[in-house]
Structure 1
Amino acid sequence: MAEVKEDRRIKRTKRQLSAGLIELMKKKNIKDITIKELVEKVDINRSTFYLHYSDIYDLLNDIEKNLMEEVTSVFNSYKNIEQLEDSYAFLLTLFKTFDNNRELCKILMNNPNSSSFMEEMEENLESEIRNKLTEILGDTSLISPNSYIFYRCGCTGLLKYWITNDSPEAPEEMAKETYHLVVDSLVRIQEEKSKKQL
Structure 2
Amino acid sequence: MKEGDRRVKRTRRLLKNALLELIHKKGFNAITVRDLTEKADVNRATFYQHYHDKFDLLDQAIDDMLLSLVTYVVPKNVEEITDIEKASPVFVRLFEFIYDNTFFFQVMMGKNGIPSFQRRMVSMIQQFMNEKLEQFHPQPEKMDIPREILIHYISFAHLGLISYWLESDMQYSPGYMARQLSSLTVKGPLAAGGLLYNNCLGNS
TM-score (structure 2 length as normaliser): 0.79
- Listed as ranges, the matches of 1:82-101 within 5 Å are 82=79, 84-85=82-83, 88-101=88-101
- Listed as ranges, the matches of 1:119-130 within 5 Å are 119-130=119-130
Q: d(CA) in 2 for partners of 1:54 and 1:75?
A: 31
Instruction: Tell me how far 1:156 sits from its aligned partner.
Output: 1.0
Other-structure match for 1:194: none
Is 2:163 aligned against 1:160? yes
Other-structure match for 2:201: none
Other-structure match for 1:64: 62
Is 2:185 aligned against 1:182? yes
- The 1:152/1:24 distance shift into structure 2, 3 A limit, reads same
Instruction: Tell me how far 1:163 sits from its aligned partner.
Output: 1.4
Higher fraction of helix:
1
Is 2:145 aligned against 1:143? yes
Other-structure match for 2:199: none
Q: d(CA) in 1 for partners of 2:22 and 2:125?
A: 30
Partner secondary structure for residue 27 of structure 1: helix
Count of residue pairs brought into register by the alignment: 184
1:58-102 Cα distance to aligned partner (Å, 9 max, x none): 1111110110111120243x1422461087100000111111111
Q: d(CA) in 1 for partners of 2:29 and 2:165?
A: 26
Instruction: Tell me how far 1:150 sits from its aligned partner.
Output: 2.1
Q: Gaps (5+ residues) in structure 1? A: 189-198
Give the superposed CA RMSD.
2.6
Instruction: Tell me how far 1:138 sits from its aligned partner.
Output: 5.9
Structure 1 runs (4+) greater than 6 angstroms displaced: none
